[in-house]
Structure 1
């Protein structure tokens, strides 16, 4: 929900200052004491009242009892008297000032009763600071905290329940400003035409889509596409989030859904953009009170989407990274009629993104944008924006006048393998050698099996890793062969295998490698039909069918696959032992070895050794691989992260 325009920007600040100024003037006017035009005569009751308002101390310092008051009254020694709610103040004819406490008011009643029976000239009597003459603000002042709380609660309630406001002037972003997502933009063209002229579709009897769901990885530009659609279609734009309908009070979420669609119908043609729509959730059995409220919100949402006519000019646009978390009734035809996948940018799109973001910083002339695009295969537009910004930060840190190519390269490495930590405790010679052997094993197997382009291998800590082998994909891929997956597993197991080959013992540094290799193996066995036993059963289908399933067989098959690939990896490492020795020594001497030197070390191996390696090859020359996930096969399998990103393990490891 957007703030009211009156409260935004400078207008909101000016309004607040104006209200404060008016409040201060009114308070000063109310509390300012009124000064009499002519001073009262000395000895008069008016003069006594003026002195009492100034200070009651002259009377308070001289306390008397009721007998003194009655004696002065009987002997006519009282000059003036003032009665308040708590005391009687007396000034005698000879100027003596005293007071008599009167909390119950009985003394004042007695005084007035005797005063009525006096004969002759009577002394003047007045009232001082009683409830009848107390200013209104003093009577209200004790209740002011409660009143302020009530006003504050009412203001918050009014603000929270105000109708959703639509943006009419456009978002400032068109399809031309959204780089990449070409397929998604093409799919949204007819939606744009419908929003521009809903009546034309209704005249032909065509039923335009009521809802469009944008899916894809985080950072691919789903929100930007929604804003661009609103601009291109000249439609009003209301942006909310899926979690905005949740509330701790029953019924509030339902009222928010009603208010949202009511505002959209009034502003039609209008786009309701619900970011992170998976926050609405799924309907479930009402085992808890919160489940009941969540179900009612989803039901109201379904009813509202069924309630508006196709020609009403209202489109619900949702964006999510987890489409499987949505209720199936929400995704059926007639509600969200279309699901558009927003993919990763291609090579040309990445180059355009680098040029776009580099134009916003002081970049050096002659930057190789094509090379930057080739080195960022598989990264999202948000990641590219981060890389450009981080490159500028690195340049500022080094007090450079411009952002050079070296800054961009360092920023890409930081994005892929993490920041280089400072103040790290130096490692012992034994640990350095073990890390060097581990990383050399990764680099040699990755280069030999052509898993990707080996950019560099280092034993300097990066992120949570004690050493890093940076392998980048060389092309965008959506399908991965079984041989490619097996090659990636062998690359992940190569560090552990090299340690076992050198030291006859493995270390905890391979923990993250085993986790990634296990994810791939489980996906191959349980989702992709690549089990060594030949089974084609998908575990995802078993879960969706609500069938009890013993997963031990799948786990054993995945473990068998890992063990067989480990044996192949060890055999390949033994054949490349001279190259392994060379790269290990280079790492110990120089700490960082370029990828070209790794390829050169493999090329210098004896020819018979290279021929012998053919016997353990598992397929032809392998292409680059960026990420391996069951979702690439339109399933919900295990998600696999690309090599080089920080893991979720609890301690440092080696990649």
Structure 2
């Protein structure tokens, strides 16, 4: 009968067997070690004197290196007292007490050249010491050994460093780098010039973040997200900062591309981390600039990139639907292309309100220019900011700030110590048209004359029809233009009457008709004018209902695939309109041909003619032609 596996008797048997085996192994090991010592003692007799010192302190022989030929000469002349052999060097001690070493990689000399074949019964002329444990590194061997150690260390640490770096990078990717500002923004709504409509639209959000109880007590759900739209540089980011500053809220600023990631699933972790950070520090304003970078969800399943984009948008939708968990968190998104956002993001309950941030009007532009100009050394009393505001119609606050800085650069280039109105006007020309180029050096006299006539035609028609304020006409090339007739609007306009649009087309056709009047043929310089006139004319007949035959149907109502089929008829109507306006422009220039030629002559002389000069020439022509008309009418009356 066998004992149980875990019974005391079985355990005693196992322990006894294990102890016997261990004792046998210990005895065998001790016996083998004793035998090894006996063999070593038999192979290496007792050392005395200098040989014993060499065994215990081989480093004393590494201070002086000699050539192997010297060592062999000392051996032949029996001047050697002891020789030590190691893996890397041969240590030599002479009868006179000299100590030196000979480099011996891998025992090249020690195996064959030292003792050679000895005769029977002969005594060795010196003691030979075997130094198996001596670590003698001489010359380049020291550097080689250090390099080997560094290589081994790098080989050991490299995998650890790669794993650690990958872990750190993945962790950083998951957090996404979204950080709170250390302090709430100090910007306030009053610090943002203009954008009155946007400020009013953000008032409810400000009230909610300041006192959310006023909403919850009434059972009203506070807005969850604000979508700000508008062109680049209109001030969307400053408005978001001002909102956070008004409420004393924390502020997180990211872009739409923040959520994209190289690794699958990391984008979702970024969304989670963003909202967790915002909830911990509520009230918080999350500002997502260039929100159209989020893209739209797709149904095609085209690949991992599309699938990951869908998952990111889905996670963002889920986080914005957090209801109570998102209390005190407002998402403000800004985009120039709201049509590129996913439809589910734009529905009420996520982005509850769309705020249109418009370009500044005339008064706001003047105030913005005055604000930035106050930071410069300028003659503010001599600067007409109203005129500068008229010259900057349609420009954003960011562009206005750039113009003020450009005025400083223009003044510095001219060597002026203060910035004047002329520097500001030059900066506006650079921003709107371009800097003065060196193209005039390559123009022939004939080309300069044609350009002068062309630009005189634009300016004269604009002054006669009153399409705006004619600031100046110049034939100095700026940017891509060889000449410019600078016409500004007295005030911002959002609606245009049919008469105003017809006058705009005549101004565009004025340059070409002036060339036809003076030179009897036009040039390629009117290409851009014809393109813009055609665009306006096509919009008039196809969208605004300004047809000659009274056709009110708008091509904009048709889907894109059908609108092209009806475009031919619209082009025909637009061409009829352009022909009519072209005839009117020709008649206008023909009646004022002396003024046209006078303006062109002034341009060839001074290269730039002011709008006041053009108005004066028109008045002088009108005064000169009135008496002749009166005299011509008297005989008819008689």
Question: What is the TM-score when the length of structure 2 is the normalising length?
Answer: 0.76
Aligned equivalent of 2:306: 291
Counterpart CA distance in 2 for 1:63 and 1:146 is 48
- Work out which of the residue numbers 193, 199, 203 in structure 2 matches 1:185: 199
Confirm or deny that 1:357 pairs with 2:364. no
Within 5 Å, give how 1:566-645 maps onto structure 2. 566-603=582-619, 604-605=621-622, 606=625
Report if aligned partners of 1:207, 1:310 keep a CA contact under 8 Å in 2.
no
Which deviations, in whole Å up to 9, do the C-alpha atoms of 1:429-476 show, x marking residues without a partner? 211121111111111111122111001111121221111100011001
Aligned equivalent of 1:419: 435
Aligned equivalent of 1:368: 384
Q: CA deviation at 1:232?
A: 0.6
CA RMSD of aligned residues (A): 3.9
Report if aligned partners of 2:231, 2:336 keep a CA contact under 8 Å in 1.
yes
Within 5 Å, give how 1:15-94 maps onto structure 2. 43-45=53-55, 47-49=57-59, 58=66, 79-83=83-87, 87=88, 89=90, 91=92
Which deviations, in whole Å up to 9, do the C-alpha atoms of 1:214-258 show, x marking residues without a partner? 111222111111111111111111101112223343333333222
Aligned equivalent of 1:339: 354
- What SS does the corresponding residue of 1:309 show, helix, strand or coil? helix
Which deviations, in whole Å up to 9, do the C-alpha atoms of 1:55-109 show, x marking residues without a partner? 9x65888999xxx9xxx9xxx98643434xxx574546766745655499x98xx
Q: CA deviation at 1:137?
A: 5.0
> Relative to 1, partners in 2 of residues 1:136 and 1:464: Cα closer, same or farther, differing over 3 Å?
same
> Relative to 1, partners in 2 of residues 1:595 and 1:103: Cα closer, same or farther, differing over 3 Å?
farther
Counterpart CA distance in 1 for 2:628 and 2:391 is 32
More displaced stretch, 314-323 vs 287-296: 287-296
Aligned equivalent of 2:260: 246
> Relative to 1, partners in 2 of residues 1:210 and 1:368: Cα closer, same or farther, differing over 3 Å?
same
Aligned equivalent of 1:614: none
Which deviations, in whole Å up to 9, do the C-alpha atoms of 1:290-347 show, x marking residues without a partner? 4333333323322322234386111111112222222222211111111111112223
Confirm or deny that 1:312 pairs with 2:327. yes
Counterpart CA distance in 2 for 1:590 and 1:467 is 13
> Relative to 1, partners in 2 of residues 1:531 and 1:317: Cα closer, same or farther, differing over 3 Å?
farther
> Relative to 1, partners in 2 of residues 1:414 and 1:504: Cα closer, same or farther, differing over 3 Å?
same
Report if aligned partners of 1:195, 1:269 keep a CA contact under 8 Å in 2.
yes
Within 5 Å, give how 1:244-643 maps onto structure 2. 244-284=258-298, 285-287=300-302, 289-309=304-324, 312-366=327-381, 367-422=383-438, 424-532=440-548, 534-543=550-559, 549-550=564-565, 551-603=567-619, 604-605=621-622, 606=625
Q: CA deviation at 1:288?
A: 5.2
Q: CA deviation at 1:524?
A: 2.9
> Relative to 1, partners in 2 of residues 1:415 and 1:232: Cα closer, same or farther, differing over 3 Å?
same
- What SS does the corresponding residue of 2:350 show, helix, strand or coil? coil
Report if aligned partners of 2:475, 2:482 keep a CA contact under 8 Å in 1.
yes
> Relative to 1, partners in 2 of residues 1:282 and 1:451: Cα closer, same or farther, differing over 3 Å?
farther
Report if aligned partners of 1:63, 1:99 keep a CA contact under 8 Å in 2.
no
Counterpart CA distance in 2 for 1:295 and 1:609 is 79
> Relative to 1, partners in 2 of residues 1:483 and 1:51: Cα closer, same or farther, differing over 3 Å?
farther
Q: CA deviation at 1:582?
A: 2.2
Report if aligned partners of 2:289, 2:334 keep a CA contact under 8 Å in 1.
yes
> Relative to 1, partners in 2 of residues 1:382 and 1:122: Cα closer, same or farther, differing over 3 Å?
same
Which deviations, in whole Å up to 9, do the C-alpha atoms of 1:359-385 show, x marking residues without a partner? 111112413333333433332212221
Counterpart CA distance in 2 for 1:153 and 1:607 is 88
Aligned equivalent of 2:185: 171
- What SS does the corresponding residue of 1:282 show, helix, strand or coil? coil
Aligned equivalent of 2:248: 234
Counterpart CA distance in 2 for 1:312 and 1:268 is 8
> Relative to 1, partners in 2 of residues 1:96 and 1:444: Cα closer, same or farther, differing over 3 Å?
closer
Report if aligned partners of 2:471, 2:610 keep a CA contact under 8 Å in 1.
yes
Report if aligned partners of 1:525, 1:554 keep a CA contact under 8 Å in 2.
yes
- Work out which of the residue numbers 110, 129, 135 in structure 2 matches 1:128: 135
Q: CA deviation at 1:486?
A: 1.9
- What SS does the corresponding residue of 1:466 show, helix, strand or coil? coil
Counterpart CA distance in 1 for 2:628 and 2:507 is 19
Structure 1's unaligned 5+ residue stretches are: 1-39, 108-120, 612-655
Q: Which has the higher contact order (CA 8 A, sep 6+)?
A: 1
- Work out which of the residue numbers 171, 174, 180 in structure 2 matches 1:161: 174
Counterpart CA distance in 2 for 1:431 and 1:609 is 35
> Relative to 1, partners in 2 of residues 1:129 and 1:506: Cα closer, same or farther, differing over 3 Å?
farther
Rg larger in structure? 2
> Relative to 1, partners in 2 of residues 1:62 and 1:287: Cα closer, same or farther, differing over 3 Å?
farther
Higher helix share: 2
More displaced stretch, 504-513 vs 283-292: 283-292
Structure 2's unaligned 5+ residue stretches are: 1-49, 112-126, 138-144, 631-638
Report if aligned partners of 1:62, 1:97 keep a CA contact under 8 Å in 2.
no
Q: CA deviation at 1:558?
A: 3.4
Question: What is the TM-score when the length of structure 1 is the normalising length?
Answer: 0.74
Counterpart CA distance in 1 for 2:70 and 2:155 is 30
Report if aligned partners of 1:498, 1:573 keep a CA contact under 8 Å in 2.
yes
> Relative to 1, partners in 2 of residues 1:405 and 1:558: Cα closer, same or farther, differing over 3 Å?
same
- Work out which of the residue numbers 223, 230, 236 in structure 1 matches 2:237: 223
> Relative to 1, partners in 2 of residues 1:238 and 1:571: Cα closer, same or farther, differing over 3 Å?
same
